[in-house]
């Protein structure tokens, strides 16, 4: 046993830790992977994207499952060779085949404990192979991918992948997991659209001064992450209500839920005479440029889009939904290329360093299709807690949304008692 973690009623014992390298060496001419501006920004932020997949399997041998996972991960890294490299400098990843971390753990309780505990989001942290917000003095010391496979007493298992945001956004993380699962099931995977040069559209810049802004951004104050569940019927009701208000159209699931949560955060956390925080949306650009980027290509291909600031004294979620809708719709090929032609995107990011709310939608990505050979996951989760950040995941039926929200402790207490949050959501919830 390497280490043991106790959180609440759950004990997690780390029983092994090793490095998994690509099954075939990366050719010399592919060793240098050029970063785009969107990747460079993530070096400054220093974040892993953590995704946890829960499986209900009680019949197969854990050792056999682990061997399948390790062998298929090694083969998968051959195709995702930047994922096995290390950051060389602010412009390049050295695809040196140093590999990914792979850890195994035993959990002396049933898997349902993770979701039945009132503070279940804290328990999820013990299933992660690393801190998703951990900072490194030298980026070259940071692995691109870390995996933890946890075996529960009930026979279930959780596979957590932490992927460095430098090499992947949420869409690319979904592609990586889907590919890894396909290889585990015997697929002979080859896809020439994975490694796609994006530097002509998002040219890299010298961000040495910009990095210092993020270095001092993290605060010491205590924050809490909560999982809010909105089932399909409640979302449908919310969309209808907003559509009958000042919107004049029926908003999407993301627009409606973002407006609900955003208006609640503003009304419960903004003090008198303070300006409302800015709202920013992570918008996937893969199908918004001409020509479009391949859906499966890796890297960061999204923009944070700033919503027009709130001016009204009384906040109305229908107004916010309309502004969110307008902000998303303006992102097209001309918008993207004009913004990067004059460095405008970097100005937007600088304005959003402080006093912002960020919504990122991971819905419609095929996380629930990730089958390694013992069935599809029964639940997915994340444990990325960025203050005033909200990450949206599908429920298993594809109709509902799980919103993972992080706020300062004192703000969360007020937010959870907001009448609209109480009316449309349930907190945490059992498996």
Q: Which residues are catalytic?
A: 165, 371
The secondary structure of the chain, three-state, reads: CCEEEEECCEEEEEEEEEEECCCCCCCHHHCEEECCHHHHHHHHHCCEEEEEEEECCCCCCHHHHHHHHHHHHHHHHHHCHHHHCEEEECCEEECCCCCEEEEEEEECCCCCHHHHCCCHHHHHHHHCCCCCCCCCCCHHHCCCEEEEEEEECCCCEEEEEEEECCCECHHHHHHHHHHHHHHHCCCCCCCCCCCCCCCCCCCCCCCHHHHHHHHCCCCCCCEEEEEEEECHHHHHHHHHHHHHHHHCCCCCHHHHHHHHHHHHHHHHHCCCCCCCCEEEEEEECCCCCCCCCCCCCCECCEEEEECCCCCCCCCCHHHHHHHHHHHHHCCCHHHHHHHHHCCHHHHHHHHCCCCEEEEEECCCCHHHHCCCCCCCCCEEECCCCCCCEEEEEECCCCCCEEEEEEEEHHHHHHHCCCHHHHHHCEECCCC
């Amino acid at each position: 046993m390497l280490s043991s973690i106790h959180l609440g009623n759950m004990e997690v014992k780390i029983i092994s830790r090793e490095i998994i390298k690509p099954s075939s060496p990366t050719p010399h001419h592919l060793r240098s992977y050029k970063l785009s501006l969107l990747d460079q920004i993530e070096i400054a932020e220093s974040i892993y994207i953590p995704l946890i997949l829960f499986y209900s399997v009680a019949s197969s041998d854990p050792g056999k499952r682990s061997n399948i996972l390790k062998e298929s991960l090694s083969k998968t890294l051959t195709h995702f060779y930047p994922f096995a490299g290390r950051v060389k400098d602010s412009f390049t990843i050295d695809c040196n085949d140093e590999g990914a971390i792979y850890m195994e753990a035993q959990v002396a309780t049933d898997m349902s404990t993770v979701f039945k505990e009132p503070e279940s989001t804290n328990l999820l942290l013990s299933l992660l192979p690393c801190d998703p917000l951990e900072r490194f003095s030298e980026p070259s010391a940071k692995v691109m991918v870390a995996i933890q496979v946890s075996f529960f007493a009930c026979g279930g298992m959780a596979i957590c992948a932490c992927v460095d945001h430098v090499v992947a956004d949420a869409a690319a993380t979904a592609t990586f997991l889907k590919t890894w699962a396909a290889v585990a099931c015997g697929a002979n995977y080859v896809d020439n659209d994975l490694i796609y040069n994006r530097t002509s559209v998002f040219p890299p810049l010298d961000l040495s001064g910009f990095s210092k802004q993020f270095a001092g951004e993290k605060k010491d104050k205590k924050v809490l992450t909560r999982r809010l569940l909105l089932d399909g019927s409640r979302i449908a009701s919310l969309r209808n209500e907003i559509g009958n208000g000042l919107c004049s159209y029926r908003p999407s699931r993301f627009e409606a839920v973002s407006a609900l949560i955003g208006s609640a955060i503003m009304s419960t956390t903004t003090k008198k005479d303070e300006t409302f925080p800015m709202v920013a949306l992570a918008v996937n650009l893969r199908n918004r440029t001409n020509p479009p980027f391949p859906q499966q290509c890796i890297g960061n291909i999204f923009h944070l889009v700033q919503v027009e600031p709130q001016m009204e004294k009384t906040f109305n979620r229908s107004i916010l939904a309309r502004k969110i809708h307008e902000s998303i719709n303006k992102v097209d090929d001309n918008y993207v290329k004009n913004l990067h032609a004059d460095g405008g995107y970097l100005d937007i990011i600088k304005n959003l360093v402080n006093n912002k709310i960020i919504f990122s939608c991971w819905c419609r990505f095929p996380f629930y299709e990730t089958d390694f050979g013992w069935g599809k996951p029964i639940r997915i989760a994340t444990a990325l807690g960025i203050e005033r950040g909200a990450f949206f995941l599908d429920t298993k039926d594809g109709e509902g949304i799980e919103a993972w929200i992080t706020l300062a402790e004192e703000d969360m207490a007020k937010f959870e008692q907001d009448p609209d949050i109480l009316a449309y959501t349930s907190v945490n919830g059992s498996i």
